[in-house]
């Protein structure tokens, strides 16, 4: 019931604008039909129109939300029928299981996000082989879940105007960096452009070589997903190494999801200094919120009917 109410109230936020439009249209139409109407009468008419519009849109959105939840439940039932069980980090001892990511919210059920998620799901065995000895199967599941959260944080699941502009005009971003470097007389601003919906600066070499991924094609969901996974695998290994090298005792398997993002968004020095505050960090909090929009399932490896 909560997802339904959340979807309804989210859509009702736009009613204020539609209410103003409806009110103005009602007043204009009433004046055309009867120019002798008083202002009080016009206000009554506009209020009735606004009220009717509010009820209509509320019912429409409520039905849409119910249909969306029904679709999610239908897919969830199919997942269970296909032998998958709910997966939770550190509560599973299956190191070689298949993974299934079930998107719950409308924003993560679009075609582009579906392609991104599918790449995470169906490339697991290949990625584990490519990074053999560097990652376990359960860690892959965690990183795939985090990758979805990063997709939401970095590009609002492909919908961010900022992301779309950056992809349309990468040369403008580069020019801005060059000018900034010149004005401040520093080369620190000449870092590579972040590309793709997860805003990757450097494609991991193993991923680039195996899947022909370059910055220019990171807009493709599959390549973006693979590059993100490769980056997160290498970042997780760096996090483990820094835990030992820098004495980061607060880094544990239970807190990977809290501190791994710091390596992703360029907060390594904050982490090393022990100044990371994931409980208040906006990036980490929003990433976790987006992660909650997807449920993770697993099963012993076998042919799947859910492709």
Which strands sit side by side in the sheet containing 294-299, from one edge to the other?
85-86, 294-299, 98-103
Q: Both tokens of residue 53?
A: 């519009």
In this structure, the dihedral spanned by the alpha carbons of residues 221, 212, 262 and 164, taken in order and rounded to 10 degrees, is: -40
24, 51 contact by CB (below 8 A) = no
Choose among 94, 98, 116: nearest CA to 107. Answer: 116
| Residues contacting residue 71 through CB under 8 Å, at least 6 positions apart | 109
Nearest Cα neighbor of 215 from 276, 270, 174 is 174
Place 48 in a pLDDT band, splitting at 50, 70 and 90. low
Q: Please answer whether residues 102 and 85 qualify as being in contact, where contact means their C-beta atoms are separated by less than 8 angstroms.
A: no
| Residue-level pLDDT at 92 | 85
CB atoms within 10 A of CB 266: 11
Range 259-277 average pLDDT: 96
- Per-residue pLDDT band for 292 (boundaries 50, 70, 90) equals very high
3-state secondary structure of 200: strand
pTM of the model: 0.75
Owner of token pair 């409806």: 22
CA–CA gap between residue 74 and residue 143 (Å, rounded): 26
* Cα 132 to Cα 59: distance, rounded to the nearest angstrom: 53
- pLDDT band for position 276 (50/70/90)? very high
> ∠117-125-153 over CA atoms, to 5°?
30
Q: What residues does each domain of the chain span?
A: 2-73, 83-160+196-299
Partners of 102 in the beta sheet?
295
Say which DSSP state 99 is in: E
Q: Tell me what the mean pLDDT of segment 47-72 comes to.
A: 56
Question: Token pair of 278, please?
Answer: 């994931």
pLDDT of 18 higher than 60: no
Tokens representing 90 are 């550190």
Six-digit token string for 14: 């736009």
Token match 């799901």: residue?
121
Reported as a pLDDT band with limits 50, 70 and 90, residue 94 is: confident
Please, are residues 296 and 101 in contact by the beta-carbon 8 Å criterion?
yes
Q: How far apart are CA 202 and CA 61, in angstroms?
A: 42
Greatest Cα pair distance in the chain: 83
At 44 the pLDDT is 57
**CA 67, CA 78: separation in Å to the nearest integer?**
17
State the residue for tokens 């249209």: 25
202-212 per-position pLDDT tens digit: 999 999 999 99
* Residue range 163-177, pLDDT digits in tens: 888 877 765 665 565
Mean pLDDT of 253-272: 96
């Amino acid at each position: 019931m909560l997802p339904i109410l959340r979807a309804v109230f989210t859509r009702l936020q736009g009613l204020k604008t539609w209410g103003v439009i409806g009110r103005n249209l009602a007043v204009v139409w009433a004046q055309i039909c009867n120019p002798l109407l008083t202002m009080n009468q016009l206000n009554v008419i506009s209020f009735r129109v606004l009220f009717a519009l509010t009820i209509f849109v509320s019912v429409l959105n409520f039905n849409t939300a119910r249909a969306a939840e029904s679709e999610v439940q239908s897919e969830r039932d199919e997942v269970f029928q296909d032998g998958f069980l709910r997966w939770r980090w550190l509560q599973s001892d299956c190191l070689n299981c298949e993974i299934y990511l079930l998107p719950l919210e409308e924003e993560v059920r679009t075609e582009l996000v579906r392609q991104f998620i599918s790449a995470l799901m169906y490339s697991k065995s290949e990625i584990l082989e490519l990074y053999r000895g560097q990652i376990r199967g359960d860690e892959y599941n965690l990183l795939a879940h985090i990758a979805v959260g990063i997709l939401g944080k970095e590009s609002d699941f492909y919908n961010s105007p900022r992301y779309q502009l950056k992809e349309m005009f990468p040369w403008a971003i580069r020019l801005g960096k060059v000018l900034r470097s010149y004005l401040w007389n520093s080369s620190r601003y000449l870092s590579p452009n972040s590309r793709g919906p997860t805003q990757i600066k450097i494609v991991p070499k193993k991923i680039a070589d195996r899947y022909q991924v370059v910055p220019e094609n990171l807009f493709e969901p599959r390549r973006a997903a693979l590059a993100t996974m490769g980056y997160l695998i290498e970042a997780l290994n760096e996090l483990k190494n820094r835990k030992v090298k820098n004495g980061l005792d607060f880094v544990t398997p239970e807190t990977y999801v809290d501190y791994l993002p710091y390596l992703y968004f360029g907060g390594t020095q904050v982490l090393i200094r022990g100044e990371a505050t994931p409980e208040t960090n906006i990036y980490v909090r929003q990433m976790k919120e987006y992660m909650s929009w997807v449920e993770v399932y697993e099963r012993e490896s076998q042919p799947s009917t859910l492709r």
